């Protein structure tokens, strides 16, 4: 029996998604990704440099894991939609981890805005992975 996870057109052997924030340096982040066995890494589109000055996070992760941009830091469906569209254009992906913060201190999601944004994104051909409780 296979215990794979299939989302849209992709099949994953691991059900673990790992974030890319909070590591002291890139080497530790890459070691953690490798040790975990994850096939999916998330990163806030606000933290991804698109300037092309040095090797960016997208290039570092390329080929190691499926890169999943997220809308971390957004507080409204409108902001999340704009951020997702930016990620799609800049990173050539229609996959998005949808985060809409309702509580700044505890980072709990705003479920009403999340549902609204999900409907808008799905209507615009996104594969949406919402962060919710």
Residues forming the active site: 97
- Mark 74-102 as b/e (b = at least 16 C-beta within 10 Å): beebebbbebbebbbeebebebbbbbbbe
Q: Token pair of 93, please?
A: 């992906």
What is the C-alpha separation between 86 and 3, in angstroms, rounded?
33
């Amino acid at each position: 029996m296979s215990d794979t996870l299939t989302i849209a057109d992709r099949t994953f052997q691991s059900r673990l998604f790992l974030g890319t924030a909070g590591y002291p340096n890139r080497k530790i982040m890459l070691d953690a990704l490798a040790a975990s066995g994850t096939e999916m890494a998330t990163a806030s589109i606000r933290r991804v440099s698109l300037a092309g000055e040095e090797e960016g996070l997208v290039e570092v992760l390329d080929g190691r894991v499926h890169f999943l941009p997220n809308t971390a830091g957004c507080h409204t469906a409108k902001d999340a939609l704009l951020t997702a569209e930016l990620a799609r254009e800049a990173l050539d992906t229609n996959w998005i981890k949808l985060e809409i913060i309702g509580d700044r201190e505890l980072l709990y999601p705003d479920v009403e805005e999340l549902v609204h944004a999900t409907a808008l994104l799905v209507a615009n051909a996104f594969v949406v992975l919402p962060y919710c409780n």
